[in-house]
Amino acid sequence: MALNIDWMNEAKKRKDDLVRDVQALVRIPSVRDEERAQPGAPFGPKVAEALEHMLRRGREEGFRVKNVDGFAGHVEMGQGEKLVGVLGHIDVVPPGDGWTMDPFAAEVRDGRLYGRGAIDDKGPTVAAFYAMKIVRDLGLPLSKRVRLIIGGDEESDWRCVEHYFRHEEMPEVGFAPDADFPIIHAEKGIIDADLAYRPPESVEAEGLALASFQAGRRYNMVPDAAEAVVEGVRGAEDWQERYESFCRECGVKGSIRQSEGAVAFQLEGVSAHGAEPERGKNAGVYLAQFLASLPLDGRSRPFIQFVASTFFGDARGRRLGLAHRDEQSGELTVNVGVLSYDRRHGGTIGLNIRYPVTADGDAIRRTLAGASAEHGFALSRFNDTKPHYIDPNHELVRTLQRVYEEQTGEPARLLAIGGGTYARALTAGVAFGALFPGRPDVAHQKDEYIEIDDLVKATAIYAQAIYELAK
C-alpha cells in the first residue's frame, strides 16, 4: 500500500504541544545526585522525577509503559514479535557557570528553546515521543513493536542501559536521537588507561626537586590548566624569562609564583573533547615540555621526560607504537586527560585512547604496557569499551538514509566519530540526529538551546523512520 503522508505537516500541527512538553521536561533539573540515591531512584530524586514525567505522558497517550527500577523505562506501542528501539535519555550534566538566563526555565527566545538538556537529550527524546504519537494518531499498520527506551545515567556511567538490558529484551534494530544527523554508523573504541610511575629508592639527589605536578580531572577532556611546584630554584628571574619566552612561542599563557626556595609554574591551555585532542592545547603536556628543559633530580626527571618526549606534538600514539588507522573510522587518538605527581608517591598519567573500529583493544593493551615499561611505568588500569560499527549496507542504515534524504533533500552521509553514543548499547543501532549539519554543537555549553524549527523537522524525520522500520 503506497502511502502519501506529509510527515512535516503532521509535525507542524503538533508544534505548540511539542514545545510545551519539551519545556516541562527541561524544567526538571535532572542532574545525577548520588548522595540522595535510593531504591527506585538510583540517580537521585530529580532524575527519577524526569523519568516518571515521561512515563506519565506515555500513560496519558495510551501507550504501554514500564519503569525498570528507576534506572530506565520505556514507552511502547504496536504489536508483533520483533522490536524497534529508540534510545534517549533524560539526565543532564550540571549547568555550570556563565548562563545569561536560568538554565532550567526553558525560555523560548528568537525561535530557540533554551535550557540544560534542550539539545542533549530532552528535546530529541520528546521529538521521538511525538513521532510515535504521529504514527499512532494516523492509525498506520505496524508489524513490529516500537519502544522508546529512556535512560537516566547516559551522562555518567551508562548504568541505566546496563541494568535495563539485563532485564529487558534487546531491539532487533534501533537508533539513538542523541548526536548528529545524518547518520553515525561507526564509533571508535574507547580506552581509559593509567600509567603509574614510582621513583626508584636510590637515585641521585642533585638537581631541582619537583614537589608536585597537577593537570586535568577528566580523562575525556584536554586539560586547560596545569601547575608544577619546583623546589631548590636559584635565580628565579632567569627561569621566569625562559618560561615567558616558551609560553609565547607555544601560544599559551603562563605565570610564575615565587615563595621561599620554591617556584610554582602555572600554565593555561585550551580545553577540547578527548576524542579530538588536537583541537585543544594540553596544559599538562605543554608544562611538562618546559619542565623537561630544567635540571630536575633523578626522582622526577624520568616522569617529566616520558610525558614530554611521548606526548608533546603527538596525539596519534605514534611514539607509543599505537598509530592505527582504518578507512571506516580514521586514526587512533591519545588524550592525556590527567597528570599527577608528588615527590613521595610518584606520578600517574591518565590516558583516553580512541581507536579505530578494526583495531584490537587487547593488542593495544600489550603494546602500551610494553612501551611504558621500557621507561619505568606500569599499566595500572585499563578499561576498554569496544568499538561500534554497522555496515553501510545494513537495512537499518539504508532505510534511515532514504528517510533523511526524502525529508531534507540533502545527502545522508555516513559519519564516524571518536565519541561514544547510546547507539553502542544496541546490537544493531546508529546515532540519528538531532543536531543538523552546520548547526553549532551547544550540548554541555552555557546557554544550551535547540532551534524549534529543527525540533519540528527532527520529529517529522523520526516519525517516518519509525513507520518505515516497523511497518
Active site residues: 91, 154
Question: Residue 369: left if φ>0, alpha if ψ -120 to 50, beta else—which one?
Answer: alpha
Cis bond leading into 356, ω under 30°?
no
CA distance linking residue 244 with residue 263, whole number of Å: 14
Rounded CA-CA distance 409/194 in Å is 47
User: Cα separations (Å) of 277 from 221, 251, 312, 333, 335?
Assistant: 8, 16, 12, 7, 6
**C-alpha cell read off for 99:** 548562563
Q: What is the identity of the amino acid at 423?
A: A
Query: CA 462 to CA 433: how far, in whole Å?
Result: 9
Helix (H/G/I), strand (E/B), else coil: 113: strand
Whether the upstream peptide bond of residue 434 has omega within 30° of 0, thus cis, is yes
Q: Locate cell 537499518: which residue?
A: 396
State the DSSP code for 229. Answer: E
SS3 state of residue 309 = helix
d(CA 57, CA 50): 11
C-alpha cell of residue 294: 630544567
Beta bridge partners of 253: 268
Question: Are the CB atoms for 315 and 334 separated by under 8 Å?
Answer: yes
Rg (CA), the chain: 25
Q: Where are the alpha helices (DSSP H) in 255-360?
A: 283-291, 301-311
